[in-house]
Amino acid sequence: MSRYLHEVREGEDLLIRDRNLPIAKIVPLTSADGLDADDLALAAAGQLRLPEARLPSSFWAMPAPRVSVKRAVAAVTAIREEE
């Protein structure tokens, strides 16, 4: 196992198979710059997906959507009720 983890630390993706059927993938945490320990813990628990790349600067130039607080609350409430 240590050998495989060493490969991941070196930047390699590791595909886990069960009877030659891919079931999981271990990938290095390459985009963890700027994340704090809480973010990394959430990622390790599968509750947060780490970014694969930085957002382009053009992203920040786009206008923000105009959504009323009432509609935003309704959307979040609906999502939570589905779970």
- Tens of pLDDT, residue by residue over 46-80, are 898 888 778 899 999 999 989 999 999 999 999 99
> What does the pLDDT average to over 11-29?
90
Q: Where are the alpha helices (DSSP H) in 24-68?
A: 37-44, 57-61
- Label residue 31 by pLDDT band (50, 70, 90): low
Give CA torsion, residues 28, 33, 39, 40, to 10 deg: 30
Instruction: Supply φ then ψ for residue 17, to 5 degrees.
Output: -125, 150
Tell the burial category of 63 from Cβ atoms under 10 Å away from its Cβ (0-12, 13-18, 19+). exposed
Higher pLDDT, 50 or 25: 25
